[in-house]
């Protein structure tokens, strides 16, 4: 047993060039085996031996075959490798001699290479790292876009999803999901909020996510079957890795659900913090069957393309189906929307791609500035060593050797900069999730992966060559007599390449200026954004989410009674000036869209109406949010379900609908929109 | 023309074929220490140069198969060794004369 070599070592040895495996590795290994050492010592020596095999292979590769035959191994070892080692040591000593210069150069490079490594890590996390779905390249998303293009990525309604699912042919199947919060009781002392998703029964099949225990949903379980699939995180954190989790009953929103399976955590960039999946997307709590059929959209559609179908074909089909849906369902609220198919990766990262590319360009510019800065320093530094160069040349050193010597210094600087830069990047990546988690679709921690390391190493190598090659070539040029003549006058008197240094400085200044202008514009935009009036006053306003389980509050009447009780209790609480209810909070992205038009004259059909954001609110909402009612009146307690439907519109909507100067709230016809319903209630 | 190491190695193989281990031992006796990979890399080059032939043998020791790389010198190697020996002998003789003047 002691002579077994791990497969990895053998694989690495097989990669030795020429006949290195059969002629060098194998006989060496057999000699080692014959020494009969302990297992641990054998393995350790095998690893060292493999490294040695690569060393001798490298040294053989660096020496030409003709010369190699003529040389003895001792001389060979002193060949190229030793010269390189000598040069590297000399470069190291020269840098150590000038700690001031070295630290300034390394600091400049560390900051710029570190910035690049951070962006590489982001690119790796966002665009390169594979999604945990089988063949994720063939997954697409279908989103609705308003005809004027102002509203994009709108979810689909149940009728539209069912129409698309029935009619489409470009995908193997379409699945849909929608997020919601559920209350879990009877597990622990306190009720727990669980982020869940209601999905179609084929959801996991379309995504290509197999269960790690139990099963996923079966065909036919889509219609409110009392089953739930949980994620690994839910299983570990909430069920404490219970080995009998599958089959357990969970009480979600006061209804019992049986855990039928556990799946691996899905990427947060795609599903958010979802921990449980319920199979009932066609019956969202709080929406009556009538409203669902009216075309209220809340479903996100995912499809898996057939093998022979391209994304362009899927897009064309989606456009045709959207038109047919509009023709056949003119009474639906979402009939006017165009359907756009995009790949899932683009769906997750499309918004941030331009920003990341811009950041990449910015850090590349910063790196260029650092390069020109250090190149300038190197030019001056090498110019000050012209006597040394002249002496070397006089002693027989070729120009190539001198250039190599200086290039080593530059490469060593960039290598030190890269190492320090990776440290800088590590620090930045630690704080990045806290800064950008809400704006970037990041999956887990952003780490420095081997791909990022390679990219950073390549950048460091390119940086080293870029900033060192010209100073090195320039320094190796002068003749001995020139150098000795100039030497007495010092650096300033030497015929240094002033023009090039001027160009470098000019580049540095212009690039810095460009970046500074960009940064100033960005800061100005940010300041403008902060000064922007949101239309309400968030000072002293607190918000809280409330979700009502459908089992306890099955109809609108029960829900309304709860809301009224809640409002009454809040309004008499000490410290609360006013309280109101609203479906979502402004600027959080939780909005409903509804088609609207003037109710007088010819009322256009639904698919010809404009689409606008609506929010159902209770009386007192405008006062609570300090939104001034500039015309007409606020909602009151008299605007109940059985009273005439009323709506409050924004000034911009008023200008669109009523070009005359009037600003009063006049009846329009989103008669059955969510806003109108809320206003009534 | 052989280097002094090649001269020792081929010299060790002139009498009979030997295992790599034995040749390494012979080198050690001449004060030349090489790691196993460096040594076998050198032997590989001698094979490439066409002076020696390498081959594997295997034997069973304690129910384990032990493979061994063995080498033998070929005629080209013998010619190269003789030529180098003559060169060193001629040079030595010349310097001997100078040394005795």
Both structure tokens of A574 = 């000490």
What is the value of ipTM here, to two decimals? 0.86
Lowest-confidence region among A3-7, A405-409, B53-57: A3-7
What does the alpha-carbon distance between residue A313 and residue A486 come to, in Å, rounded to a whole number?
72
CA dihedral A56, A62, A65, A69 (to 10 degrees): -50
CA distances from A62 to A15, A66, A71, A72, A83 (A): 17, 12, 13, 15, 11
Query: Considering only residues 58 to 87 of chain A, which have any Cβ-Cβ distance to chain B shorter than 8 Å?
Result: 60, 68-75, 77
Question: Which residue carries 């630290």 as its tokens?
Answer: A103
Q: At what angle do helices B36-49 and A26-34 cross, to 10 degrees?
A: 140
A388 touches chain B (CB under 8 A): no
Is A75 close to B3, i.e. CB distance below 8 A?
Answer: yes
Tens digit of each residue's pLDDT (9 = 90 or more) over A237-255: 999 999 999 999 999 888 8
Is B66 close to A74, i.e. CB distance below 8 A?
Answer: no
- Split into its structural domains, chain A has a count of 4
Q: Which residues of A touch B66 (CB under 8 A)?
A: 30, 33-34
CA dihedral A557, A563, A565, A566 (to 10 degrees): 160
Is B69 close to A73, i.e. CB distance below 8 A?
Answer: no
CA distances from A198 to A131, A179, A261, A637, A640 (A): 21, 6, 15, 35, 31
Lowest-confidence region among A358-367, A419-428, A553-562, B54-63: B54-63
- Please indicate, yes or no, whether residues A121 and A173 belong to a single structural domain of this protein: no
Q: Nearest by CB to B42, from A31, A49, A73: name it.
A: A73
User: Which one, of A143, A302, A346, lies nearest residue A208 by Cα?
Assistant: A302
pTM of the model: 0.62
Q: What is the 3-state secondary structure (H, E, C) of A374-415?
A: HHHHHHHHHHCCHHHHHHHHHCCCCHHHHHHHHHHHHHHHHH
Q: Nearest by CB to B40, from A18, A28, A55: name it.
A: A28
CATH number of B4-92: 1.10.10.10
Is B35 close to A71, i.e. CB distance below 8 A?
Answer: no
Is B3 close to A71, i.e. CB distance below 8 A?
Answer: yes
Highest mean pLDDT among A77-86, A264-273, A276-285, B81-90: B81-90
Q: Closest approach of chain B CAs to the CA of A517, in angstroms? A: 59
- Please indicate, yes or no, whether residues A63 and A160 belong to a single structural domain of this protein: no
- Please indicate, yes or no, whether residues A437 and A560 belong to a single structural domain of this protein: no
- Please indicate, yes or no, whether residues A178 and A52 belong to a single structural domain of this protein: no
Alpha helices in A203-267 (DSSP H): 203-207, 232-233
- Please indicate, yes or no, whether residues A582 and A504 belong to a single structural domain of this protein: no
Question: What mean pLDDT, rounded, does chain A reach?
Answer: 82
Burial of A663 (0-12, 13-18, 19+ CB in 10 A): middle
Is A32 close to B64, i.e. CB distance below 8 A?
Answer: no
Contact indicator for A680, A641 with CB cutoff of 8 Å: yes
What does the alpha-carbon distance between residue A23 and residue B52 come to, in Å, rounded to a whole number?
13
B49 touches chain A (CB under 8 A): yes
Is B3 close to A55, i.e. CB distance below 8 A?
Answer: no
Higher pLDDT, A10 or A60: A10
**pLDDT higher than threshold 70 for residue A318:** yes
pLDDT at position A502: 78
Q: Nearest by CB to B37, from A24, A68, A77: name it.
A: A24
| CA dihedral sign, ordered A602, A606, A608, A613 | positive
**Mutation target among A24, A32, A70, A78 for the B interface, most CBs of B within 10 A:** A24
Task: Compute the residue count for chain A.
Answer: 681
**pLDDT higher than threshold 90 for residue A89:** no
pLDDT at position A285: 61
CA distances from A489 to A61, A385, A449, A483, A484 (A): 45, 12, 51, 10, 9
Alpha helices in A220-333 (DSSP H): 232-233, 268-271, 289-294, 311-328
- Please indicate, yes or no, whether residues A96 and A235 belong to a single structural domain of this protein: no
- Please indicate, yes or no, whether residues A483 and A606 belong to a single structural domain of this protein: no
- Please indicate, yes or no, whether residues A115 and A68 belong to a single structural domain of this protein: no
A36 touches chain B (CB under 8 A): no
Residue environment code for A134-154, b if the CB has 16+ CB neighbours within 10 A, otherwise e: eebebbbbbbbbbeeeebeeb
B21 touches chain A (CB under 8 A): yes
Lowest-confidence region among A133-147, A166-180, A547-561, A660-674: A660-674
Residues ≥6 apart with Cβ < 8 Å to A306: A169, A170, A171, A172
The residue segments making up the domain with residue A390 are 88-127+353-526
What does the alpha-carbon distance between residue A163 and residue A299 come to, in Å, rounded to a whole number?
13
Lowest-confidence region among A86-100, A163-177, A305-319: A86-100
Q: Is residue A575 part of a domain?
A: yes
pLDDT at position A580: 93
Q: Is residue A134 part of a domain?
A: no
What does the alpha-carbon distance between residue A107 and residue A61 come to, in Å, rounded to a whole number?
36
Q: Which residues of B touch A71 (CB under 8 A)?
A: 3
- Please indicate, yes or no, whether residues A97 and A209 belong to a single structural domain of this protein: no
- Please indicate, yes or no, whether residues A297 and A173 belong to a single structural domain of this protein: yes
Structural domain ending residue among the three candidates A295, A310, A336: A336
The order of strands in the sheet holding B64-73 is B18-19, B64-73, B52-61
| CA dihedral sign, ordered B14, B16, B17, B22 | negative
Is A30 close to B67, i.e. CB distance below 8 A?
Answer: yes
**pLDDT higher than threshold 50 for residue A26:** yes
Stretch A6-21: mean pLDDT, rounded?
Answer: 81
Q: What is the 3-state secondary structure (H, E, C) of B12-78?
A: HHHCCCEEHHHHHHHHHHCCCCCCHHHHHHHHHHHHHHCCEEEEEEEEEECCEEEEEEEEEECHHHH
Q: Nearest by CB to B36, from A28, A57, A71: name it.
A: A28
- Please indicate, yes or no, whether residues A230 and A357 belong to a single structural domain of this protein: no
Q: Which residues of B touch A55 (CB under 8 A)?
A: 37
Both structure tokens of A22 = 């059969």
Both structure tokens of A126 = 């966002």
Both structure tokens of A628 = 């001034």
Domain ranges of chain B: 4-92
Residues ≥6 apart with Cβ < 8 Å to A395: none
Q: Is residue A537 part of a domain?
A: no
Under 8 Å CB pairs connecting chains A and B tally to 76
């Amino acid at each position: 047993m002691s002579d077994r070599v791990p497969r990895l070592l053998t694989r690495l040895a097989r990669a030795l060039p020429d006949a290195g495996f059969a002629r060098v590795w194998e006989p060496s290994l057999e000699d080692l085996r014959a020494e009969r050492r302990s297992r641990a010592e054998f393995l350790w020596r095998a690893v060292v031996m493999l490294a040695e095999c690569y060393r001798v292979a490298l040294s053989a590769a660096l020496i030409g075959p003709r010369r190699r035959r003529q040389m003895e191994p001792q001389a060979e070892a002193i060949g190229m490798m030793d010269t390189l080692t000598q040069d590297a040591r000399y470069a190291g000593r020269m840098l150590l001699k000038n700690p001031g210069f070295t630290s300034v150069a390394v600091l400049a490079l560390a900051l710029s290479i570190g910035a690049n490594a951070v962006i590489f890590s982001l690119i790796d996390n966002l665009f390169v790292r594979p999604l945990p779905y089988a063949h994720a390249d063939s997954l697409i998303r279908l989103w609705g876009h308003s005809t004027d293009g102002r509203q994009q990525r709108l979810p689909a309604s149940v009728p539209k999803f069912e129409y698309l699912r029935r009619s489409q042919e470009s995908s193997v199947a379409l699945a849909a999901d929608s997020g919601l919060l559920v209350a879990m009781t009877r597990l622990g002392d306190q009720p727990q909020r669980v982020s869940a998703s209601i999905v179609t029964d084929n959801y996991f099949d379309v995504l290509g996510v197999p269960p790690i225990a139990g099963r996923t949903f079966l065909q036919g379980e889509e219609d409110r079957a009392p089953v739930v699939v949980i994620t690994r995180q839910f299983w570990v954190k909430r069920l404490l890795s219970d080995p009998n989790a599958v089959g357990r009953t969970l009480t979600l929103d006061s209804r019992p659900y049986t855990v039928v399976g556990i799946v691996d955590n899905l990427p947060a960039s795609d599903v958010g913090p979802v921990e449980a999946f319920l199979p009932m997307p066609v019956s969202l709590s709080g929406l009556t069957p009538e409203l669902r059929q009216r075309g209220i959209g809340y479903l996100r559609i995912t499809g898996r393309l057939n093998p022979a179908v391209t994304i362009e074909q899927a897009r064309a089909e989606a456009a045709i189906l959207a038109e047919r849906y509009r023709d056949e369902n003119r009474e639906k609220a979402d009939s006017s929307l165009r359907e756009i198919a995009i790949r899932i990766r683009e769906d997750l990262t499309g918004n941030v791609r331009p920003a990341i590319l811009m950041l990449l360009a910015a850090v590349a510019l910063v790196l260029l500035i650092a390069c020109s800065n250090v190149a300038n320093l190197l030019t001056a530094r090498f110019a000050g060593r012209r006597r040394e160069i002249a002496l070397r040349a006089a002693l027989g050193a070729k120009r190539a050797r001198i250039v190599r010597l200086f290039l080593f210094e530059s490469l060593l600087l960039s290598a030190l900069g890269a190492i320090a830069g990776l440290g800088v990047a590590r620090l930045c990546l630690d704080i990045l999730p806290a800064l950008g988690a809400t704006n970037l679709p990041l999956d887990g921690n952003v780490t420095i992966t081997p791909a990022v390391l390679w990219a950073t190493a390549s950048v460091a190598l390119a940086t080293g060559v870029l900033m060192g090659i010209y100073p090195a070539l320039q320094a190796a040029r002068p003749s001995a007599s020139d150098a000795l003549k100039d030497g007495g006058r010092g650096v300033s008197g030497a015929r240094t390449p002033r023009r090039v240094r001027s160009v470098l400085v000019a580049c540095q200044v212009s690039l810095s200026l460009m970046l500074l202008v960009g940064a100033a514009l960005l800061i100005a935009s940010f300041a403008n954004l902060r000064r922007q009036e949101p239309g309400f006053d968030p000072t002293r306003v607190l918000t809280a989410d409330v979700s009502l389980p459908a089992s306890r509050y099955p109809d609108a009447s029960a829900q309304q009674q709860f809301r009224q009780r809640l409002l009454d209790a809040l309004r008499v609480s000490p410290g609360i000036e006013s309280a109101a209810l609203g479906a979502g909070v402004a600027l959080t992205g939780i909005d409903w869209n509804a088609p609207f038009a003037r109710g007088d004259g010819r009322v256009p059909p639904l698919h010809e109406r404009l689409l606008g954001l609506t929010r159902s609110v209770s009386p007192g909402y405008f006062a609570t949010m300090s939104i001034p009612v500039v015309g007409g009146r606020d909602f009151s307690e008299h605007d109940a379900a059985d009273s005439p439907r009323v709506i409050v519109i924004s000034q911009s909507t008023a200008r669109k609908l009523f070009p005359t100067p009037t600003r009063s709230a006049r009846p329009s016809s989103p008669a059955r929109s969510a806003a109108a319903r809320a206003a009534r209630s | 023309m052989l280097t002094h190491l090649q001269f020792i190695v081929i010299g060790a193989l002139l009498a009979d074929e030997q295992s790599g281990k034995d040749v390494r031992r012979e080198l050690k006796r001449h004060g030349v220490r090489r790691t196993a990979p460096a040594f076998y890399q050198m032997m590989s080059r001698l094979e490439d140069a066409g002076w020696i032939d390498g081959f594997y043998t295997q034997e069973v020791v304690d129910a384990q198969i032990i493979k061994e790389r063995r080498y033998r010198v070929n005629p080209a190697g013998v010619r190269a060794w003789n030529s180098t020996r003559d060169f060193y002998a001629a040079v030595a003789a010349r310097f001997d004369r100078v040394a005795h003047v």
